[in-house]
Amino acid sequence: MAPAVHGNRQVAHDIRAAVTGLDILINNVGGLYPTRRATSDGYEATLAMNFVGPFALTSELLPLLQARAPARCLNVVSAGFKMFTGDPFADPQSRHRFISGDAYAHSKLLNVLVTLALAQRLPAEQVTVNLVHPGMSWTPMTQSMTSQTIPQFRAVWPLVRILQRSRSAEKAGNRVAALVASPVAGAATGQYFERGLRPNWLSARELDPRIQQRAWQLGEQLMTQAAERTS
């Protein structure tokens, strides 16, 4: 599979070569896999897709956002992060135990935590950083889900499938666009939105600055490991 860190660094390099600043950065990526697999630079693929890649890309593009202050960074996440109830920092690479849906929820939680950590690191008048869950939608990623990849829903899987098929990807995309274009995204930072323009509740776990900082340190550690593998 494609490299998580080096691939996103290359994307950032190409963007920096093309423009001198960014007004808005939207990270909208997600994936899960039925079995454990690794990227070419050694990351469990779910972690790479949902956490390492966006972290690397955002880190590399921060100077372009800061050059266009006030700028906006919006990370699209899944409400599935709430389903992960374990230690966020235990076995992030799923080496000891791999359940597709758990790995997905775990990686999305880490994404939430580093987004909130970034919001704490950047002055709001420089770059606002927020999260949005646009709702369920019928996309190739959603279509790849099965009752085996999300065993928590196995008993009600036919109903889940009906709901998935009824949800429009276009509407979900419009919700993201509406938020990032709204004055709300320029006035709020470190907030989580679900569909609408009013911030939603987060638990004490997500709001704990110490946990946010640990997630940031994990992201930096994983990026360092990628550099070491190629040195």
Is residue 123 a contact partner of residue 70, using CB atoms and an 8 Å limit? no
- Region 157-175: mean pLDDT is 82
Predicted confidence (pLDDT) per residue in 92-124, tens digit = 999 999 999 999 999 999 999 999 999 999 999
Q: How many domains does the chain have?
A: 1
Distance of CA 91 to the CA centre of its chain: 18
pLDDT(32) > 70: yes
Tokens 């609408």: give the residue: 196
Predicted confidence (pLDDT) per residue in 192-223, tens digit = 999 788 999 999 999 999 999 999 999 999 98
Give strand pairing partners of 127.
71
DSSP state of 44: B
Q: What is the pTM of this model?
A: 0.90
Domain containing residue 55: 5-230
pLDDT(19) > 80: yes
Higher pLDDT, 125 or 147: 125
Nearest to 145 by CA among 32, 29, 30: 32
For residue 154, the tally of other CB atoms under 10 A from its CB is 11
Is residue 47 a contact partner of residue 103, using CB atoms and an 8 Å limit? yes
- Region 6-14: mean pLDDT is 91
Nearest to 226 by CA among 32, 59, 48: 48
pLDDT(135) > 90: no
Residue 169, domain CATH:
3.40.50.720
Q: Which residues of 214-229 are buried (b: 16+ CB within 10 A; e: fewer)?
A: bbbebbeebbeebeee
- Structure confidence at residue 229 (pLDDT): 57
Q: How confident is the model at residue 228 (pLDDT cuts 50, 70, 90)?
A: low
- Structure confidence at residue 163 (pLDDT): 80
